[in-house]
Structure 1
Amino acid sequence: MVATDKQHKWPAVLPYDKQAVPVPGTKRPGQSAHYRNGIWGLVDEHTPGSFVTLDQVWFEGLKNGGNADFLGWRKVISKSPLKFAPIYSWISYAEADKRRQYIGSALHTLFQQGKVGGGELETVGIWAQNRPEWQLVDLACQSYNKVSVSLYDTLGKDSVEYIINHSNLSVVLTSADHVSTLLKLAPKIPSLKLIVSFDELPDQANTAFKEWAQTQGIQFQTLQEFETFGKANLFPSIPATPNAVASICYTSGTTNTPKGVVLLHKTLALAAQNGLYGLDSFPDNGTLLSYLPLAHIYERIVELVTIAVSGRIGYFTGDPLRLLEDAQILKPHFFPSVPRVLNRVYQAAMIGGNVPGLKGNLFRKAVAVKLENLRTTGATYHAFWDRLVFRKIQAALGGQVKMIISGSAPLSSDIMDFLKIAFGGEVVEGYGLTETSATTTKSWPNDPSSSGTTGPPGPVNEVKVIDVPAMSYTAEDKPHPRGELCIRGGNVFTHYYKDEKNTKASIDDEGWFHTGDVAEIDAAGRVKIIDRVKNIMKLAQGEYVALERIENTYSALPISAQFFVHGDGLQSYLVAVLVPNPDVFAGIVTSVTGKQVTPTDVAGLSAAAQDPKVVQHSLAILTKEAVRQGLKGFEMVKRLHISLSPFTVEENTLTPTFKLRRKDAYNKFKAEIDALYALGEPSSSRSTKL
């Protein structure tokens, strides 16, 4: 095990039937009882030995890490063409500690001298893709009483402008590619006084940026210059206090302006502490692959947990197309992920294994045997089938993965079960929000029936559900209580920055955060997210539909790379836009048209997407799954548009965490969606059989 006394191992026998237990006397009309973790109860800032500040997390990691590897990256060895080193380079915990002090001292000195600052809080902006410097700056902020404000690397200039002004950022540390954007925005962001580039620049470019910045009343430095200044003005770390603000994390905003979630030191530290309960699968000197956006709270918490146990953090190259290459070089043990990525892993495995002949027969036999074992005993390892069949799938992520956690959106139970048997380690699903420091519930390892749930509340949380009369969900529902999920605990945010209205709408007088998600709490105390309070709409005949839940059902199919469901209150049925998986779609097109089309034949696939026979066959595949998953008739998509133009962050149809921006997604395909409705209501007699 990793050497930290903050860690808590699973008991020898897990009480799968009592993963969370109701607190006696807490059941009231209109709400369920309060549920707490069935093993560890409720942990808070007063629990002996718990982290209550982020600098405690760092010094614990440093104490046991010393000269061991800490932050890793692949160096660029050629820019044209772009090529990365076939190995990871590393800095140690001790080296990172020196650089943390240099950066922190530079920041502290500049704020003390009045060269930066001027706002209510001493805020520091970080704008870059995941890289060692991102973590170093955050560590400096944590231990020098500064408030980090993360900017998504893919944010557009409007959001950047809003967040800089809203949080009164006077200094932003960023990658070189964002410097010109900041300087162009300078007249609209008067608080900005200093830009620090993570990247070293040629002398000519460095001089040009300094001169341009000077014309805007802004200083420009490289990080190397900044650290040199800090080293010359070295100042001891400033001990943090539990109630000090550590970070303002802006929600990615699927509909409205981003909200600034204020997170205290104890809020984030307790979330990290929560991750140390049941962390048995993480080995000594274990390695995390960092590719989920560090600007998002999910990745920050898993990195804090890794730091607490003196683990290694290896950063991906920044190119999603190189992610598997990065994994195969790094060979991580810990792979936090999201359904968007795990769906692709599943689809690739199914395409590669489910083939004719002996190979396909062996694959199907292996899947059947391991699924039977999983669903009866919870076992995910099989000596014979893992070595013969699943070793190749495991090798895609480096061959050493021990832990996979899926979060940010629901993952279908079938895909979750397959990932468990394919990787043979701890594959679990969690639930959390920015407002809860990415921490609330997590399923337990080797639980035979956990797929489809997000598990019980962690030790730092208690949860309950309250009635949602408009949607007919109540705490008295049988067999299990259902309603809006509410969360309370030391990891829950205090308020939205400069936004009293939304704060009051989200946190009640008893400290419960109302999530807007509808959940069911089963007999074992596990939480299952079943609906969304806000993302519902009423069809013309009066039926309510939950668009996100329906999208999740269809998105699990191999044919689907992306799926957008649209409803119109003046219409009685739903329509959808399918962005197909080219590997699967090519096979369908070939089968339906009789013409050989390959996954790389973009012109052929685009033409086929307009073929009514191909569209109808694809809709039939989707309808078959909808029936299997128990969707009601009015919840099923009745008309379909297929497009090879994906939803992207760059065009603003996806948030930086890859959630659909519904209004922008609709506007992208408005003409096609309107055309589907112009066809009139589909005939109920039309066959959807394959």
Structure 2
Amino acid sequence: MLTHGNVVADFSGFLKVTDKVIFPNQDDVLISFLPLAHMFERLIESVVYCHGGRIGFFQGDIRLLSDDMKALRPTILPVVPRLLNRMYDKIFSQANTPLKRWLLNFAAKRKGAEVSNGIIRMDSLWDKIFFSKIQVSTSPPPLLPMSGLIRLMYASLGGRLRHVGAPLPCNLIKLVDVAEKNYFAAKGEGEVCVKGPNVFKGYLKDPERTAETLDKDGWLHTGDIGKWLPNGTLKIIDRKKHIFKLAQGEYISPEKIENIYIRCEPVTQLYVHGDSLQTMPAWALKKGMEGSYRDLCKNTVLKKAIMEDLQRLGKASGLHSFEQVKNIYIHNEQFSIKNGLLTPTLKAKRPELKEFFKEKIEDLYENISM
């Protein structure tokens, strides 16, 4: 339950910490494509409206977002990391020769080095050669990484990608011990807990779930593991919630693995489980496999190829062997709000997914090859 006071407190806190960094005006245009149930989107839209800016809404098809952006030419783009990863992978997949891939990688590293040093421009040599083709704005906007929860509104904001910033003025933040994962507040690490007027009041008619999240002193336990950096900013380094323990004792974060595997080209959505848009046909065709989407989902050769690509991505991203998935099931229908597998903010409903795929999960375990 979010009150009007929660929204006002968060809105005011956001304006206070961004007034010297971003100040929208009547010339600014925001493109809205995140669900309006997403408080991040609603917060940013409120800021734009407050300053007299304009908002354009996408067509409703995320696959056409690039067309919408070219038509609207937005100056403000609220975006989540998963979409940025998709954009990045799509751009790099178009470099279809070793030389093009090397040049694009080199150009991206040079641009990344400039951004890390606070140099944000759109007229460099690499912009003229590569990036001008994908730019949607005529001037370089500031980059503002943000972190938060729907229950909290948005609690922290930072100007660099290495951390989530300092708390908003309306928040107190503390870290508490998570002994089972060897994180201790005395070392500046632990579960992030937040308190303040923008913290939600609880779950509607669900006191048990509310008590699990809000303690008796009003602290919201986020489930994120954070670390204080020397400059006073907060970095998220792990998750406490949605983890499971393997038989050999290691703790696994399925969300961490999902965020790596989602970058596999033929994979649109996935759900990783363990106990204590039609992009696949085009990818399959490049591998020499043809057929309808439903037929491809049953193709054992394709399944093996996807497994190999997932393992490659996992290894390249530093996953331990025990964190890598050992078996997969390819489903022929996307997760959606309509079929009850996604929340209104398009996040996976893990308990519902576990129940929905219960029989398939049992089959996967029976046929696992170690």
The whole-number CA distance in structure 1 between the counterparts of 2:283 and 2:324 is 24
Displacement of 1:362 in angstroms is 4.4
Q: Distance in 1 between matches of 2:266 and 2:237?
A: 23
Aligned length: 366
Q: Are positions 1:655 and 2:325 aligned together? A: no
What's the counterpart of residue 590 of structure 1?
286
Alignment of 1:220-231 (within 5 A): none
Cα shift at 1:565: 0.6
Deviation at 1:609, TM superposition (A): 4.3
Contact kept, 8 Å, 1:442 with 1:455, in 2: the verdict is yes
Q: Kindly report which structure 2 residues correspond to 1:488-567, keeping only aligned pairs within 5 A, or say none.
A: 488-567=195-274
Rate the CA distance shift 1:526–1:562 in 2: closer, same or farther, 3 A. farther
Partner residue in 2 for 1:284: 25
Residue aligning to 1:325: 67
Query: Structure 1 residues 499 and 563 mapped into 2: Cα distance closer, same or farther (>3 Å)?
Result: closer
Counterpart Cα distance in 1 of 2:47 and 2:240: 32
Task: Answer whether contact 2:59 2:68 (CA < 8 A) is retained.
Answer: yes
Over 3 Å counting, the alpha-carbon distance change for 1:299 and 1:284 in structure 2 is same
What is aligned with 2:174? 464
Alignment of 1:249-260 (within 5 A): none
* Cα gap change, 1:427 to 1:351, in 2 (>3 Å): farther
Q: 1 CA distance for matches of 2:101 and 2:185?
A: 47
Provide the residue aligned with 1:454 in structure 2: 164
Distance (whole Å) between structure 1 residues aligned to residue 349 and residue 313 of structure 2: 25
> Equivalent residue of 2:329, what SS?
strand
- In 2, Cα distance between equivalents of 1:678 and 1:536: 22
Cα gap change, 1:662 to 1:679, in 2 (>3 Å)? same
Residue number in structure 2 paired with 1:303: 45
Residue identity opposite 2:179 in structure 1: P
CA contact (8 A) 2:37 2:345 kept: no
Counterpart in 1 of 2:184? 474
Query: Structure 1 vs Structure 2: percent identity of aligned residues?
Result: 33
Are 2:125 and 1:384 equivalent residues in the alignment? yes
Question: Structure 1's 622 and 269: CA in aligned 2 closer, same or farther, altered over 3 A?
Answer: same
Inter-CA distance 362–541: structure 2 relative to 1 (3 Å threshold): closer
Return the letter of the residue paired with 2:8. Answer: A
Could you tell me which residue of structure 1 aligns to residue 190 of structure 2? 483
CA–CA distance in 2 between the matches of 1:673 and 1:513?
A: 33
| CA displacement at 1:501 relative to structure 2 | 4.2
Partner in structure 1 of residue 114 of structure 2? 373
Gaps of 5+ in 1: 1-260, 403-423, 570-578, 684-690
AA matched with 2:135: Q
Asked if 1:440 corresponds to 2:155, the answer is yes
Partner of 1:275: 14
**CA distance in structure 2 between the partners assigned to 1:506 and 1:670 by the alignment:** 27
Q: What is the rounded CA distance, in whole Å, between the counterparts of 2:146 and 2:65 in structure 1?
A: 22
Note if 1:344 corresponds to 2:60: no
SS at match of 1:563: coil
Describe the shift of the 1:473–1:295 C-alpha distance in structure 2 as closer, same or farther (beyond 3 A).
same
Do the aligned residues in 1 keep the contact of 2:266 with 2:283 (CA within 8 Å)? no
Distance in 2 between residues matched to 1:476 and 1:662, nearest whole Å: 32
Q: Which has the higher strand share?
A: 1
Measure, in 1, the Cα distance between the counterparts of 2:148 and 2:324. Answer: 28
- Taking structure 1 as the reference length, the TM-score comes to 0.49
- Alignment-mate amino acid for residue 664 of structure 1: E
Task: Tell me the equivalent position of 1:617.
Answer: 305
Distance 1:362-1:506 versus aligned 2 partners, 3 A rule:
closer
Aligned partners of 2:323 and 2:100: how far apart in 1?
38
In the TM superposition, residue 497 of structure 1 has moved relative to its aligned partner by 4.2
Q: Is the 8 A contact 1:589 1:614 kept in 2?
A: no
After the TM superposition, which residues 4-23 of structure 1 pair with which residues of structure 2 at under 5 Å, given as runs?
none
Change beyond 3 A, Cα 1:428–1:624: farther
Indicate if the aligned counterparts of 2:289 and 2:302 stay in contact, CA closer than 8 A. no
TM-score by length of 2: 0.86
CA deviations 1:19-68 (Å, max 9, x no partner) are xxxxxxxxxxxxxxxxxxxxxxxxxxxxxxxxxxxxxxxxxxxxxxxxxx
For residues 266-303 of structure 1, give each alpha carbon's deviation from its aligned partner in whole angstroms, at most 9, with x where no partner exists.
x3222112222235345531111222222332222111
8 Å Cα contact 1:562/1:580 also seen in 2: no
Deviation at 1:546, TM superposition (A): 1.9
Paired letter, 1:642? I
Give the match for residue 679 of structure 1. Answer: 367
Report which of the two structures shows the higher radius of gyration computed on alpha carbons.
1
Cα deviation 1:394-414 (Å, max 9, x = unaligned): 23xxx35x7xxxxxxxxxxxx
2:56 maps to which residue?
314
Which residue does 1:356 correspond to in 2? 97
Kindly indicate whether the alpha-carbon contact (under 8 Å) linking 1:262 and 1:497 is maintained by their aligned counterparts in 2.
Answer: no
Three-state SS of the structure 1 residue aligned to 2:271 is strand
8 A contact 1:362–1:389 mirrored in 2: no
Query: What is the distance in 1 between the residues matched to 2:218 and 2:348?
Result: 30
Deviation of the 1:334 alpha carbon: 1.0
**Structure 2 segments unaligned to the other structure (5+ residues):** none
TM-fit CA distance, 1:385: 1.6
User: Cα distance, 1:544 vs. partner?
Assistant: 2.6
Change (3 A) 1:645 1:500: closer
Deviation at 1:678, TM superposition (A): 1.5
Q: 1:430 aligns with which of 141, 146, 149?
A: 146
Mapping for residues 4-153 of structure 1, pairs under 5 Å: none
Corresponding residue number in structure 2 for 1:8? none
CA deviation vs aligned residue, 1:199-221 (integer Å, no higher than 9, x gap): xxxxxxxxxxxxxxxxxxxxxxx
Q: For 1:454-487, what per-residue CA distance to the aligned partner results, in whole angstroms no more than 9, with x for missing partners?
A: 233233323111002233321134xxx2211111
Against the structure 1 CA distance between its residues 503 and 651, is the aligned structure 2 distance closer, same or farther, given a 3 Å change threshold? Answer: closer
RMSD: 2.9
Q: CA deviation at 1:361?
A: 5.3
1:336, 1:293 → 2: CA distance? Answer: 11
Partner Cα distance (1:494, 1:666) in 2 = 29
Deviation by residue 1:227-255 (Cα, 9 ceiling, x = unmatched):
xxxxxxxxxxxxxxxxxxxxxxxxxxxxx
CA distance in structure 1 between the partners assigned to 2:213 and 2:2 by the alignment: 13
SS in 2 for 1:562: coil
**Partner Cα distance (2:240, 2:102) in 1:** 44
Where 2:151 maps in the other structure, the secondary structure is helix
Match of 1:635 among 295, 319, 323: 323
Tell me if the contact between 1:580 and 1:642 (Cα under 8 Å) persists in the aligned partners.
no
Distance in 2, matches of 1:442 and 1:546, equals 24
CA distance in 2 between counterparts of 1:531 and 1:558 reads 25
Contact 1:654 1:661 in 2 (8 A): yes
| Residues 355-379 of structure 1 deviation map (CA, whole Å, 9 limit, x = unaligned) | 227755543342232133334x232
For residues 498 and 611 of structure 1, the distance between their equivalents in structure 2, rounded to whole angstroms, comes to 46
Q: 1:428 & 1:348 partners in 2: Cα distance?
A: 23
Letter in 2 for 1:356: T
